[in-house]
């Protein structure tokens, strides 16, 4: 009587492929889980920042990440002659600008994000963002300068261009060159109770922890699927003979 038996004889290349591809999927899933935890910590820091005592001394670029969303209280003068309109900033489906105004503090300046303002359909019409240079006290949360999800080559802006300037994700080095003096490589998200601001319903602008977790599940599911395919494809049914007396 013939008995069907399954034999598991995977080729070496198939086993190596599973190890490599499965390892990549699992590593990616673990990385996404780690990112989710980091984002949870940043969200917690953002929510807790309003209850913390504001610092009065700005920090260097090298340690700015350690102070993300920390509130600062800074005294200085706005340089209203060298303001930046961060272009293509979308809020609630509308295209507009973030208004970055240098606040001179001694020999250096910190970029104060005074909020979002809608763009005119006629790109030639720039918004009215003038501000005086009186000595003032500004409070706000430290945040990285906005960065694109995909690195794009920004158009070169001539040094003789008029102000305010529409810029697309400028770096601190680019701003130093255009403004003519040093600025920190971060911004202060100006608090709601400060004057001369625009729309400032600040919220963290990064991928949510839930989305990172969803991606991690997908990576782990893909690794599991590869394992099932490996087992099924490499299991063969064969006929065996069994004698009965």
Q: What are the CA-CA distances from residue 213 to residues 42, 207, 218, 227 (Å)?
A: 16, 11, 9, 21
CA 126 to CA 129: how far, in whole Å?
Answer: 9
Instruction: Report the alpha-carbon distance of residue 191 to residue 104 in Å, rounded.
Output: 18
What pLDDT was estimated at residue 23? Answer: 93
Instruction: Name the DSSP class of 170.
Output: -
Tens-digit pLDDT profile for residues 106-138: 889 999 999 999 999 888 889 999 999 999 999
Alpha-carbon distance of 7 to 10, in angstroms, equals: 9
- Summarised one tens digit per residue, pLDDT across range 54-79 is 899 999 999 999 999 999 999 999 99
- Predicted local distance difference test score (pLDDT) of residue 60: 93
Place of tokens 């202060």: 188
Closest CA to 73 of 48, 49, 100, 55: 55
Q: Phi first, then psi: give them for residue 135, nearest 5 degrees.
A: -65, 130
244 pLDDT tier (thresholds 50, 70, 90): very low
pTM to 2 decimal places: 0.75
Model confidence band, residue 242 (pLDDT cutoffs 50, 70, 90)? very low
Rounded average pLDDT over 166-178: 88
pLDDT digits (tens, 9 = 90+) for 138-165: 999 999 998 765 555 555 565 667 889 9
Mean pLDDT score of the chain? 86
Asked whether the beta carbons of 78 and 136 are under 8 A apart, the reply is yes
Output the pLDDT for position 72. Answer: 95
CA dist 29 and 31 (Å) reads 5
């Amino acid at each position: 009587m013939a008995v069907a038996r399954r034999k598991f004889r995977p080729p070496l290349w198939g086993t190596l492929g599973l190890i490599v591809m499965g390892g990549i999927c699992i590593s990616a899933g673990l990385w996404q889980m780690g990112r989710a935890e980091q984002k949870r910590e940043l969200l917690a820091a953002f929510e807790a920042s309003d209850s913390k005592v504001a610092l009065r001394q700005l920090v260097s670029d090298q340690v700015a990440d350690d102070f993300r969303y920390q509130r600062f209280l800074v005294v200085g003068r706005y340089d209203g002659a060298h303001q930046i309109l961060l272009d293509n900033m979308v809020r609630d489906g509308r295209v507009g600008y973030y208004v970055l105004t240098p606040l001179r503090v001694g020999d250096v300046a910190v970029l104060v994000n005074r909020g979002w303002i809608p763009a005119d359909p006629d790109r030639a019409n720039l918004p009215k963002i003038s501000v005086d240079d009186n000595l003032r006290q500004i409070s706000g949360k430290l945040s990285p300068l906005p960065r694109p999800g995909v690195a794009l080559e920004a158009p070169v802006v001539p040094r003789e261009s008029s102000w305010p300037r529409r810029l697309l994700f400028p770096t601190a080095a680019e701003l130093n060159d255009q403004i003519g003096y040093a600025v920190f490589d971060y911004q202060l998200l100006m608090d709601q109770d400060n004057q001369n601001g625009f729309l400032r319903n600040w919220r963290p602008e990064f991928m949510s922890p839930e989305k990172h977790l969803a991606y991690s599940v997908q990576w782990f599911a893909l690794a599991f699927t590869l394992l099932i395919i490996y087992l099924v494809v490499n299991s063969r049914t064969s006929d065996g003979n069994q004698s009965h007396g």
